[in-house]
Structure 1
Amino acid sequence: MAALTTAGLAELQQVLAPSIETPDESISEVPVDDKLRLLALLNPVLKRLVDDIAAELGSSAVRSLLLAMLAEDLSRTTGRAQIVAAGKVDDTNAHTMTQEPLSELIELHNHLENFIGGASTLPTDHYHSPSTKMLFRDSHDLLKDRLHLSYTAAKKRLLTRDLLLPHAGFNGALISPRYKELGRVFNDGTADPLEAAGTARRLLALQPGIDAQQDPDSTAERIEKQVADSLTSRNQSGTGQLLKLISSQLDDTALERSEKQMEDHFGLEFKGKRPHGFIWELCTGTSGHELLTTFSDELSNPRSKSGSTSEAQEALEQPALPGMDSSPQLSPEPNIIPAWAVSPDMPMDERPRAEFSDLGQVPPADIQGTQIPMLPGETLAAARSRSKARNLLQAFFDAIRCTMNRDPDPTGNLPMKPNIDLVVTISWDSLIGKLNDPGISNHGHLVSAGYARRLACVANVLPAVLGTESQPLDLGRTQRFFSRAQRRAMALRDRGCINPGCTMAAHRCEANHIQPWYLGGKTDLSNGALLCPICHASFHAGHFKIVVLKSIPYVLQDKVLDPEQRLRRNWFFHPQSDSIHVS
């Protein structure tokens, strides 16, 4: 490839400006101005080439896909070139140029055909003396003005150069890039340069947490290698999930602090009337978001009862929702707090509170407003407004819970069963307060351990040991379909579709028999895995295989998608999972 590249450049240079005596002469001996002419010519050549191919490939799917893949390669090349060029602008102090060469350069760029053909030449470099007023304050200002970027975009390009590319220091000495592994995948084109650049900046933001570790250097090296591998083997969402998880692990209290700060702003407020309707603004936390997302997904899923047209019509014809009398009955006794949730070492404010599940109950704040807790600097009127919005939000959620209640034998004097099903994948030690590692919800949102403990009684947050005497997980051949307990266990284990790169959450997936039931496969947890409808059909079409190792399902994708042929878990739901080489 290197030899072909050199020969191709030499031939193009012969056509453009015959300055090479023989085609075998190295292109490295061509003057830099001639190389810039060649670079200026490549842009219209590539545009013409792409348009010609697109017009002539006809109905060939193979050729159209190759065109798309080659265009993506070009995009990655130009993305890297933008960072390299911005770095050179900074290295050469281009912002100190005087107005004359800059004006001539702009005019030359506006008429590149003259420069390509050799009719015009580059102006001579002239710089302002240190004591004079310059046109631009710095390299960022020059890039912003001449490349039509925002100041932030220009700053990001130069920061990326510092993080990923070797560059000259103020004294001319060569400085190595901060992130060598990321710089490697940035340079060799195995990762999208823009994604690698953004990842490097996010990694830099994690440095305070890395510095707080016992061995910052080894921690930084390990994290950088994880992220670099993710950029080359996963999609953008998978790398984002990995970075979120790493961030939470570096500072195990940051997530809970964020949740606490959000709580004061929960509510549902009317924001005004617009031409397209009345606008309400809703602000909620993880549990509310999970409830709304689950309800919305169920309504839009034609396979669910709520999403079925016939079921929806039947629901509209009912005179009232079950449990929604004019005066809702509340449970005379609070929910029983399980023994595992009241460890003596657990802080009081993190223990589950049974009153969370009392539908329709008036909050402790008095209706008159005398007992409404006020935030610092908040007026009584503002506190009343916030309390009203929060009560309205609770009523809204209560109505959704009544709609989603599927209890075949509703009892008027008991609270409805919890419908959130916030199955948070979290370790037992974190749930009982021994550790503080975060969990992950059905929809891929990180949940602090303290928040999971507080919701444990009402949101169906279950401990990791799901199998009990009343909920067997292995039913063998006695039952065709997976039980509710088995599907819940799969959701806890798989978190979503197991096909690497798929982002479909567990509640939108189907419990699939790895070995089909009609071919003798058992309805056991070890023979089941979650797949979304699309990936489920793809699996049965033979596009990938599922291999179970130590009760964990792994996916072996087709060689086209995974040339390395490694067993993988879905990196979106399991960011830190390792792949296994197939021997």
Structure 2
Amino acid sequence: MTQMASLAGAGLAGLQQLLAPSAEGTDTPVSEAPVDDQLRLLAVLTPILRTLLDTIAGSVTTSPVRATLLALLTEDVARLIGRAQIVAAGKIEDSDAHTLKEAPLAELHRIHANLTGFIEGTASLPADQCNGQGTKMLFRDATEMVKDQLHLSFSQSKQRLATRDLLLPRAGFNGVPVAPRFPRLSTVFNNGSADPAQVAQAAQRLLALQPGIDAQTCPEEAAELIEGQVAESLLTRNAIGTGNLLKSISARLDAQALERGESRMQPHLGLSFKSRQARGYIWEMCTDLAGHERLSKLADQLANPRSGFGKAKNAPSTPDTETNDGGQPPLPGFPDDGPAPAAPTIPAWAIDPDVPEDQRPRAGFTDVGREFSMPEPAPELVALPGESTAEARQRAKARALLQFLFDSMRYGADGDGKDAPAMPLKPNVDLIVTISWDSLVGKLNDPGITARNNLVSAGYVRRLACTANIIPAVLGSKSEPLDLGRKQRFFSRAQRRAMLLRDKGCINPGCTMAAHRCEANHIKPWYLGGETNLSNGGLLCPVCHASFHAGHFRIEVVDAIPYVLQSVARDPEQRLRRNWVFHPEAESLA
């Protein structure tokens, strides 16, 4: 027996002695004690746990280390309880508890309402009295009893019992042991290493994918591989990452599903007036994936305080690194060609004298050669009465999008000139879809993926290609761009487009920032000899970009693909990972 198990056994034995100090045979293990005594221990653990958690929460005030450990331990308790809820629901079904008569059930509720007598041993549990076959039951089945007695919805009750069948071993109707449907997920569920609710949801979605798995050439191998990928995702990713993985697997198993969904959208597309209300005239827009992608990208760029999009052309704004033709704003005073002038040095008192001259930092810290200046402040956000900051920000974003749509109507329909000073600056709302050549020409039917990580059917991409400008990019077997980019100080527009195709967003695992909101970063800094090519570049959002330069994580390039090695605190396994939000099927590297 391990030391942890010994401590747990000793603690339970001590509680057992406190509850029955005069009982004989106190050395008997709790597992061999009568079940009623075990239930008394469980009943007393609830107030103990509540008191302990409240006491610790009151004591942890200024220590971030202890506050973090409290959160981790509390999450462990929550996961343990989540699993116990599934186990308990299964025991109701196994014991045919729904056949209980009204008298013992009413007595149970009386005892549960006041557990003191039961804990102290002065109140005993009622005897099992059940209705016989053919008589009127209080509950139709276990699902109805769990719903009624635990105050759940019907779907919650049904889901708990279904989860038990998928993830826990049980006895069949003839007493023969039945193994869990998904053994790999069962291991994750039972050891408490992932949220039980997420594991249960993943098991349900895997079950829904079974027809597609059965249609594969080797269903058993496919099922084992997919279950292993989902189990690994539950251990290393959050719900978004696991959801993206399952969505990708579903599209791969049933290539026609996206096509059917897109066909169902077509009759409903349009913009129509609904009603006039006190808050304004209400119009309803229904669009397809292409419209959703463009509107979402447009809304993000309009809400970006660093961008000049949507503002008058003569309005001051901070240079936007995302849309400049060169991929980065030009440095003040730098000529278009020829050697760059030397950047100003920082004061001698700010330099370690042991640092060689060519390795000393320049003015502006990470902006080589550029004088430091504060960006233009974002316009003040005014919240309405009763409105939160997040709601005010969303309202401002929606209003900016509406205004830009009307400005675009003026530009396209009213004949305003291209250079009219009152017109706002135009954003970059290109729809970028990555799809294999074989799927584009009809040899395969694998789906494409948009810049915002939405899957799109091959048929839709083919129809879109009839009316859209196509920029071909040759990708290698591991999605590394092969024929884009050139050597220069700043990444070109073509190179940034190639990074978008490869990275699809911020490369830091777990970050959800879309590619058009990211910055092209030199993995090995340019001022330290790093080249401006794709194998030395990666997309990082502004926050992760600052974290990278602060040394919070490292980037390593493997086969022209950037992988991130996070700190030990973020990733105890210390494995190279791609961002699983945008690359759900990418495997980690040792």
TM-score normalised according to structure 2 size: 0.78
The aligned residue for residue 171 of structure 2 is 168
Cα distance change on mapping 1:141 and 1:402 into 2, 3 Å: farther
Pick aligned residue for 2:289 from 275, 286, 289:
286
> Aligned partners of 2:409 and 2:176: how far apart in 1?
65
Q: What is the rounded CA distance, in whole Å, between the counterparts of 2:213 and 2:103 in structure 1?
A: 48
1:324-373 Cα offsets, whole Å, 9 max, x none, are: xxxxxxxxxxxxxxxxxxxxxxxxxxxxxxxxxxxxxxxxxxxxxxxxxx
Distance, in Å, in 1 between the alignment partners of 2:406 and 2:79 is 46
> Is contact 2:269–2:286 with CA below 8 Å preserved after alignment?
yes
**For residue 139 of structure 1, what is the amino acid of its counterpart?**
A
Query: In the alignment, which residue of structure 2 is the partner of 1:350?
Result: none
- For residue 276 of structure 1, report the CA deviation from its aligned partner: 3.5
**Partner residue of 2:41?**
38
Contact 2:309 2:426 (C-alpha < 8 Å) held by counterparts? no
**Amino acid in the other structure paired with 1:570:** N
Structure 1: how far apart are the matches of 2:234 and 2:184? 11
What is the correspondence of 1:115-264 to structure 2 with a 5 Å cutoff?
115-264=118-267
State the Cα distance separating 1:137 from its structure 2 match. 0.4
User: Which of these residues, 463, 481, 490, is aligned with residue 490 of structure 2?
Assistant: 481
> Is 1:304 aligned with 2:307?
yes
Shift of 1:400: 7.2
Q: CA deviation at 1:481?
A: 1.7
Which runs of 5 or more structure 2 residues have no equivalent in the other structure?
318-401, 477-481
Name the CA shift for 1:9/1:143 in 2 (closer, same or farther; >3 Å). same
Q: Deviations over 1:82-123 (max 9, x none)?
A: 000000000001001111111111111111122112221111
Matched, 1:525 2:534: yes
Q: Do the aligned partners of residues 564 and 202 (structure 1) sit closer, same or farther apart at CA in structure 2, a change above 3 Å counting?
A: same
Equivalent in the alignment of 1:331:
none
1:568 to 1:58, Cα distance in 2 relative to 1, 3 A: same
Runs of 4+ aligned structure 1 residues displaced above 6 Å come to 408-411
Residue 144 of structure 1, CA deviation: 0.7
Write out per-residue CA displacement over residues 189-248 of structure 1, whole angstroms, 9 at most, x where no aligned residue. 111111000100011111111111122111111111111111001111010000000000
Report the CA distance between 1:546 and its aligned residue.
Answer: 0.4
Partner Cα distance (2:265, 2:486) in 1: 44
1:145-202: CA deviation from partner (whole Å, max 9, x where unpaired): 1101000110000000000001122222221110000001000011111100010001
Letter of the aligned partner of 1:512 in structure 2? N
Indicate how the Cα distance of structure 1 residues 431 and 3 shifts in structure 2: closer, same or farther if over 3 A, else same: same
Q: Among all aligned residue pairs of Structure 1 and Structure 2, give the percentage whose two residues are the same amino acid.
A: 61
Q: Which moved more, 1:108-117 or 1:177-186?
A: 108-117
Post-superposition offset of 1:396: 5.8
1:497-531 C-alpha deviation (Å, 9 max, x unpaired): 11111111111111111011122211111110001
1:54 is aligned to: 57
Displacement, 1:139? Answer: 0.5
Partners of 1:249 and 1:401 in 2: how far apart? 43
2:578 to 569, 576, 579: 569
> What is the rounded CA distance, in whole Å, between the counterparts of 2:550 and 2:30 in structure 1?
51
1:20-31 equivalent positions in 2, closer than 5 A: 25-31=28-34
User: Conserved in 2, the CA contact under 8 Å of 1:452 and 1:461?
Assistant: no
**How far apart are 1:24 and its partner, in Å?**
5.1
Please list, as runs of the form range in 1=range in 2, the aligned pairs for 1:285-364 lying within 5 A after superposition.
285-306=288-309
- Find 1:502's aligned residue among 508, 511, 528: 511
Amino acid at match of 1:222: L
What does residue 579 of structure 1 align with? Answer: 588
- SS of the residue 2:273 aligns to: strand
- In the alignment, the residues of structure 2 paired with residue 461 and residue 111 of structure 1 have an alpha-carbon distance, to the nearest angstrom, of 72
Aligned equivalent of 1:369:
none
Aligned residues of 1:6 and 1:27 also touching (Cα < 8 A): yes
Please tell me the residue identity of whatever aligns with 1:304. Answer: S
SS at match of 2:136: coil
Q: Any stretches of 5+ residues in structure 1 without a counterpart?
A: 316-392
Are 1:555 and 2:558 an aligned pair? Answer: no
Deviation at 1:21, TM superposition (A): 5.0
Relative to 1, partners in 2 of residues 1:40 and 1:571: Cα closer, same or farther, differing over 3 Å? Answer: same
Distance in 1 separating the partners of 2:523 and 2:543: 15
Deviation at 1:575, TM superposition (A): 1.1
- Aligned counterpart in structure 2 of residue 103 of structure 1, from 96, 106, 109: 106
Is the Cα contact below 8 Å between 1:167 and 1:175 reproduced in 2?
A: yes
Shift of 1:124: 0.5
Within the alignment, does 1:85 sit opposite 2:91 as a pair?
A: no
Q: Distance in 1 between matches of 2:314 and 2:279?
A: 26
- Structure 1 residues 360-387: Cα deviation after superposition (integer angstroms, max 9, x where no partner): xxxxxxxxxxxxxxxxxxxxxxxxxxxx
CA contact (8 A) 2:474 2:483 kept: no
Aligned to 2:502: 493
Total equivalences in the alignment: 489
Q: Give the match's secondary structure for 2:156.
A: helix
In the alignment, which of 114, 130, 134 is matched to residue 117 of structure 2? Answer: 114
**Matched residue, 1:383:** none
1:70 corresponds to 2:79: no
Corresponding residue for residue 459 of structure 2: 450
